[in-house]
Amino acid sequence: MSLDRRRLIGSGLAVLAAGPDRAGAGTPPRREPPVSRPVGTLDLAIAADAPSTPTGLAIARGGRIFVMMPRFTGAEPVTLGEVMPDGAVKPYPDAPTNRPDPKAAQSTLFHVPNGVFDRNDTLWVLDAGLPEGKGTPVPGGAKLAAIDIAQNRILRTIPLDAGVVPTSSLNDLRVDVRDGRARAYITDQGQAGTGAILAVDLDSGQVVRRLDGHPSTKSEEGLVKFVERRPVMERKGDAPPKSPKGGANGIALSPDGTRLYYAPLMSRRLYAVETAALRDPNASGDAVAAAVRDLGEKGMTGGLTTDSQDRIYLSLQEHNAVGRRLPDGTIEVLAADDRLVWADTFWITPDRWLYISAAQVNRRPEFNRGTDLQQPPYAILRMRIDADPVI
């Protein structure tokens, strides 16, 4: 609908609402109702024919696209894949690495929810070490794996055992490699909604668990998430439906690396914490908690990312939309698309394309009384933005 037609319809509705005494000649001039800023659209970058739910997305400088498919049940054949130009997804770096083996926990992949590239184009993959999406992480299975995509091989792994607990479910990752420092930050959303943040020194391998059970990393009670106009509820047999739990989930770094933005999966609030507090092994829990800032409401989101102007992109899952929070706290909706089902992971490329994955998590069997409503291929959408990536 054209903007002029929107104004005409809006004016007509205002006249009808005013009644006959207010609509005739000789009445004071009427003020037109405000017109919302038009919401943009998204382009389909590629349809990924993934064998299971692709929550994670990472794009190399040369354009190679990688997706991460967590093992929610253990039946998923692949957890890390590369998207081919025709949309096919092949195991990456190879099929044997995608076969989880507790006896080779550091060299095989169990449950990969996300991965990112650093500024050297090394692919860092987060493995939660959960072969069936739940239970205690396999010893040695929770790890970071650095992959050389030119040689298609794992260069090194960093165990995360020191930072996980029996109910951990590691979810998202940011890597900060610059100016002689190499750090990583990881969210743990928890299997029961009690989350935490891990700070990792990539040089020494030291792992520190922070904000464990803090209100900013916990799943909020009493919330219901709506996706595709339906509540997302766990439905098992004859048991009453219940809202899923999800602690610390999406994260993003400020351009200078001094702040980490994050949010629980089941929460409408956005938080920030100073990264120096997260990394300091001598800082008390109270000191780290004091460095947390509540940035207010931002809608129901999954993944987050930032651009070079310190604007935070929001995967507005309830609206099939992309939002953006400005440094002054203003939130704007940039684009909406019915294909963006369960908006999940963002990626910004050097040529200023913002990519986002449509993971279709709400269509999984656990939310539909055992029926799998996912419809491959899975859309990876994109739109132009006016800023550079942070890395």
Could you give the 3-state DSSP secondary structure of residue 156? Answer: strand
By C-alpha distance, which of 214, 342, 335, 220 is closest to 286?
214
> What's the token pair of residue 43?
């382009």
Residues 187, 218: Cα–Cα separation, whole Å: 11
- When pLDDT is averaged across residues 148-159 and rounded to a whole number, the result is 97
- When pLDDT is averaged across residues 125-139 and rounded to a whole number, the result is 96
Give the CA distances from residue 93 to residues 128, 153, 377, in Å, rounded to whole numbers and listed in that order. 18, 6, 21
- Is residue 334 within 8 A of residue 324, CB to CB? The reply is yes
Residues 137, 100: Cα–Cα separation, whole Å: 12
Residues 174, 86: Cα–Cα separation, whole Å: 29
pLDDT of residue 203: 95
Other residues' Cβ atoms within 10 Å of the Cβ of residue 148: 15
- When pLDDT is averaged across residues 102-129 and rounded to a whole number, the result is 97
pLDDT of residue 10: 36
pLDDT of residue 277: 97
pLDDT at 390 over 70: yes
Any idea where the domains of the chain sit in the sequence? 43-384
Q: Is the dihedral of CA 272, 278, 283, 286 positive or negative?
A: positive
Containing H/E element for 219? none
Containing H/E element for 168? none
Lowest mean pLDDT among 188-202, 232-246, 261-275: 232-246
pLDDT at 4 over 80: no
Enter the pTM of the model.
0.89
DSSP state of 386: S
- Is residue 257 within 8 A of residue 199, CB to CB? The reply is no
Q: What is the pLDDT of residues 251-269, one digit of tens each?
A: 999 999 999 999 999 999 9
Residue type, 27: T
- What is the distance in angstroms between the CA of the first residue and the CA of the last residue of the chain? 39
Q: What is the pLDDT of residues 365-384, one digit of tens each?
A: 999 999 999 999 999 999 99
> What's the token pair of residue 202?
């990539």
| Cα 224 versus chain centre, distance | 18
pLDDT at 35 over 90: no
pLDDT at 36 over 70: no
Q: What is the pLDDT of residues 307-342, one digit of tens each?
A: 999 999 999 999 999 999 999 999 999 999 999 999
Give the CA distances from residue 102 to residues 64, 106, 115, in Å, rounded to whole numbers and listed in that order. 30, 9, 21
pLDDT > 90 fraction of the chain, expressed in percent and rounded: 86
Domain 43-384 part of CATH 2.120.10.30? yes
- Is residue 331 within 8 A of residue 316, CB to CB? The reply is no
